[in-house]
Amino acid sequence: MTLQGRFAELARSGGRGALVTMLAGSAPGTRMLFSADGASEGSLGDPQIDAVAGEAADELMWAERSEQREVAGATLFVDAVYPAPRLIAFGAIDFAAQLCTLARTSGWRPYVVDPRARFATRERFPDAEEVIAGWPQEAFAALGGIDRATSIAVLTHDPKLDDAALEIALRSEASYIGAMGSRRAQAKRRERLLAKGLTDEQLDRLAAPIGLDLGALTPEETALSIMGEVVAVRRGHEGGRLRHAGGRIHEVGA
């Protein structure tokens, strides 16, 4: 199968990768295929260009955009494919269902995890991609680990579950990690996690209390608050009101 064929198959299967084509340079028309695990196939005819192409492919497959690049006297086009981002909600509580619905509507793949099997059921979370009745370590393993396109929302108020999920998540590449709880509860959680060996730098990644300040009261509004923060972090924004923002309202694609 050609590299183009492999790339098309990767896209059809919901995989992540990038096909780099030299448009102009020493070997126009040559291609390299890069996958999310760092593997590559093919060559652009120059080890230096191959290396730079690999860096660009890794950047853009996770930034989730395709782009033309000028590198080392060559013009390359990096064509990236990627699955929908994941949102993993820990805690099979009522408004997790609304969060799944909103995430699904927004083009995300939502998952629900809770060790309490009587609550973690498909019937309660019809919009979830999968509902896992298990502890965080088991759930993360079942989901293939945590990558840079994974966001994690810890929604319970049970330190046993919260801490178990956060201890793993905060050591991972997850793009967003948020947790429910009052400011007092957050302070106690921070003390517990520091005692488990997490660093201040790792704990500073935690969005807690979770969500944007919308004044949310209902489960639907709470889900909107959480999903709003998840999207804002993914896009590199603070989530404030547009009337108070400067610059472009929408980013212009390459």
Domain boundaries, the chain: 3-81, 86-234
Distances (CA, A) of 103 to 29, 70, 239: 40, 36, 17
Do the bridges between strand 86-90 and strand 150-154 make them parallel or antiparallel, or are there none, so unpaired? parallel
Q: What is the pTM of this model?
A: 0.88
Per-block mean pLDDT, blocks of 10 residues, the chain (254 long): 93 96 95 96 95 96 95 94 97 94 97 96 97 96 95 92 95 96 90 95 95 92 96 90 64 48
> Looking at residue 50, what is its pLDDT?
96
> Looking at residue 237, what is its pLDDT?
87
Query: Which of 77, 79, 98, 76 lies closest to 89, judged by CA?
Result: 98
State which CATH number among 1.10.287.130, 2.60.40.1530, 3.40.50.10190, 3.40.50.720 fits the domain covering 86-234: 3.40.50.720
> Looking at residue 109, what is its pLDDT?
97
The radius of gyration computed from the CA coordinates of the chain, to the nearest angstrom, equals 21
> Looking at residue 250, what is its pLDDT?
53
